[in-house]
Chain A
Amino acid sequence: MFTVNTSSRRIRRRSALALTVASCVIAMAGCGSDPGSTSAASGQGAIEVQSCGRTVSLAKPAESVVVIGGGSVDTLFEMGVGDRVVGVVGVHAKPAEKYRGQLGELPDIGDALPGREALLALHPDLVIAEQGRTLSGDGGTPTTEQLEEAGIAVYIANSGCEKNSATNKVSDVFGEIKNMGALLGVSDGAKTLNERLQKVLDDVAKRVDGRKPVKVAGVTLIGSDLWVNTGGLDVDIAELAGGSNSLFDDPSEEFKILSKEEITAANPEAILFFPSTTTNDPVGFVQQTFPTTDAVKNDRILIVNPDTAARTGVRPVYEVEEFARFLHPEAFKQE
């Protein structure tokens, strides 16, 4: 199954061949054909991509994939290879409603975290994980090494590596989608998807251009703590959507725990609320917690459903559009 490293020229050659056949792959996948028949790129040489300082190698495109991080399932469907998903571990997120039916009944390999034995027994060609911590060995999860020993390739999104997550940007998703496309032998599908996502970002940028940035507070409720976005992906999403995180910016950290008083004193104009801890009435919670802020007075509260969370793939881009519609609704009046 695995091969040793080969030259980058070989990868490019394989990618070029994959481009040629990928339209057929997408068409067949879209028609719900047998996953085995979509591997037109099989036997074209080794595929190699970088993942958190490791080289992930596959002799042929992966035909069975386990996704750890429910949000990334959407990305595979939008690349045209959703039918290769044989297992999903949500990690507090779910695939989009429209794709859940297409996934059908998948074996239970864990919900919050992947189960070690269950994942090994499924024996997919590839595991795609949004976050490295889900393959740390903690809490019954497998380690990357254990999976590789069993002949399973592991791709961890670079945004989920053990590094400072405060440096993550929305633009990182393009590289991740390209890597996933390469591992699945659908580089042209990935390229098409990236082009479409870039158009979404360009459209949002055009619409919010020249408008006064809205001062936002991205607040996540974990237990009784209020975690405020200070850097990283969520701040970049808000800023691309025409928001400003200047009240809480701290480029060295992704989050900071702040008190109600500190958030109230900062007086955000809009609150993006991520109720990580289940809250019966999230809008009511925000209204009661920060009643004097402009955000509450002007009813500018957006509840971000935890099911839609994702650290990579298509969702951060769609979130930019969703947030922009919330922050600058007048910019979307003429669709």
Chain B
Amino acid sequence: MRPRSDRVPVTNAAKATTLWGVVSVLCVVLVAMGAFGIAFGAVNIDLGTVADVIWNRLLGGSQHIGGVNDQIVWNLRTPRVLLAAAVGAGLALVGTVLQATVRNPLADPYVLGVSAGAGLMASITITYGAAALAGLPTSTTAFAGALMATVAVLWLGQRGGRYSPTRLVLAGVTLSYLFTGLTSFVIFRSADPDKTRSVMFWLLGSLGQAKWSNIAIPTTVVVVGCGYLLLQTRALNAMVLGDEAALSLGFPVHRLRWKFLISTSLMTGVLVALVGGIGFVGLVIPHLVRIIVGPDHRRVLPIAVLVGAIYLIAVDLLCRIVISPEELPIGIVTSVLGAPLFLWLLRRKGAER
């Protein structure tokens, strides 16, 4: 007698259909959230004018071009929303990949000390002036700091050319403490309260620097990173099982781990250099998505990318309106929202996954 089951078997085709359904819905939500992000802010601009500005800009009309509304909608809000989407997607992607790569649920884009390295160099540039670091702007020195941290962690985290997840995480956490301590020293020694304040703004993160001329690089890096890492979902699934299991399935674990660490560190470095430290996105979003769709990276990765983008656009909008006309640094809001959300996720049924 055949065992009876009330559950209908779910085929791969059905799973794929469900995935594409969810992705489609999230794409619609992303576009809607982007529209909200552009339509609302510190200044009330009626939706018709917002639509006119966008329409004229996209289709070459002349109405509203060059005016205050055009400046706010097209030159301030639109690149900012695009950057928020790119950064949110990038951080969520990197967090998801790193959690699998180092097999540590606490891993986030900053676990390897990338953010702390960038923060140290940014604080030196802001406090002592660009001349102290060969005249380079803050974003460039921050990226150099991120690279420096990456190289140091990869060197410290390997033994005999192989990377141990535990050693990598410990090296990253240790270097983070070192860089954070040095950053505090630089701030402490600063004789200028204005510069101290600027360093604090940088460390807390902001999308306020977004403009058409500087969003191309982070956007391209995130798109290319997504393209590459979304093709690695099977390898990520195998790595979660452990090195031996992954090797037995035919995945060159050590080479892949090196590739994933390099690609995620570069992505993080580019994002942090422009927007500063935005915490919790890369930690919370992957866990949230796993609880909803399960641990399979073929589903987790694309959905995390979309949810990350939607989340950061929403948080940035909140930052712009909550103490309007001034702005909250985005790192404050991502932490204040992220911590309770993470704790709630931990308490939920199904969090064991």
Contacts and interface: CB of A to CB of B under 8 A. Distances in A.
B42 A138 contact: no
Contacts of A191: none
Nearest to A149: B71
B193 interface: yes
A146 B76 contact: yes
Contacts of A222: 193
A255 B191 CA distance: 6
Nearest to A138: B201
Contacts of B76: 116-117, 120, 146
A149 B41 CA distance: 20
Nearest to B41: A117
A115 B325 contact: yes
B166 interface: no
Contacts of B104: none
A137 B209 contact: yes
Interface string A106-121: 0011111111111111
A115 B324 contact: yes
Contact of B191 (A117, A136, A257): A257
B193 A139 contact: no
A298 B245 CA distance: 81
B327 A150 contact: no
Contact of A111 (B197, B201, B206, B326): B326
Contacts of B320: 117, 140
A133 interface: yes
Contact of B325 (A117, A136, A256, A257): A117
A320 to B, nearest CB: 23
Interface residues of B, number: 25
B68 A123 contact: yes
Contact of A146 (B71, B193, B202): B71
B318 interface: no
A120 B71 contact: yes
Interface in B191-245: 191-194, 197-198, 201-202, 206, 208-209
Interface string A88-128: 00000000000000000000111111111111110100000
A114 B329 CA distance: 14
B198 A110 contact: no
Interface string B34-74: 00000001110000000000000000000000001001100
Contacts of B43: 117-118, 120-121
B75 interface: yes
B208 A109 contact: no
A140 B320 CA distance: 8
B170 to A, nearest CB: 34
Given A137-B209, A138-B208, A112 B326 contact: yes
B147 to A, nearest CB: 24
Given A116-B208, A256-B191, A139 B68 contact: no
A253 interface: yes
B72 A139 contact: no
A75 interface: no
A38 interface: no
A245 interface: no
Contacts of B329: 139
A149 B75 contact: yes
Contacts of A255: 191-193
Contacts of B194: 131, 133
Given A121-B68, A140-B208, A149-B75, A115 B327 contact: yes
Contacts of A136: 198
Nearest to A227: B193
Nearest to A253: B191
Nearest to A150: B71
Given A255-B191, A256-B191, A140 B326 contact: yes
Contact of B326 (A113, A131, A227, A257): A113
A293 B43 CA distance: 53
Given A146-B71, A146-B76, A256-B191, A115 B201 contact: no
A89 B332 CA distance: 23
Nearest to B319: A140
Contact of B42 (A116, A146, A227): A116
B208 to A, nearest CB: 6
Contacts of B206: 138-140
A178 to B, nearest CB: 26
Tell which of A149, A150, A254, A255 has the most Cβ of chain B within 10 Å.
A150
Contacts of A115: 42, 324-327
A137 B325 CA distance: 14
Given A146-B75, A253-B191, A256-B191, A133 B198 contact: yes
Interface in A132-189: 133, 136-141, 146, 149-150
Contacts of A131: 194
Contacts of B208: 116, 137-141
A110 B75 contact: no
A193 to B, nearest CB: 28
Nearest to B190: A257
Interface string A212-237: 00000000001000010000000000
B325 A110 contact: yes
A131 B41 CA distance: 26
Contact of A139 (B42, B324, B326): B326
Contacts of A113: 326
18 contacts: A108-B325, A113-B326, A114-B325, A115-B42, A115-B324, A115-B326, A116-B327, A117-B41, A117-B325, A118-B42, A119-B325, A121-B68, A133-B198, A138-B198, A138-B201, A138-B206, A139-B208, A146-B75
Interface of B: 41-43, 68, 71-72, 75-76, 191-194, 197-198, 201-202, 206, 208-209, 320, 324-327, 329
Given A120-B71, A133-B197, A149-B71, 5 more contacts: A110-B326, A116-B42, A117-B72, A118-B325, A140-B206
Q: Which 10 A-B pairs have the closest CB atoms?
A: A140-B327, A115-B325, A118-B325, A117-B42, A121-B43, A117-B43, A138-B201, A150-B71, A133-B194, A110-B326
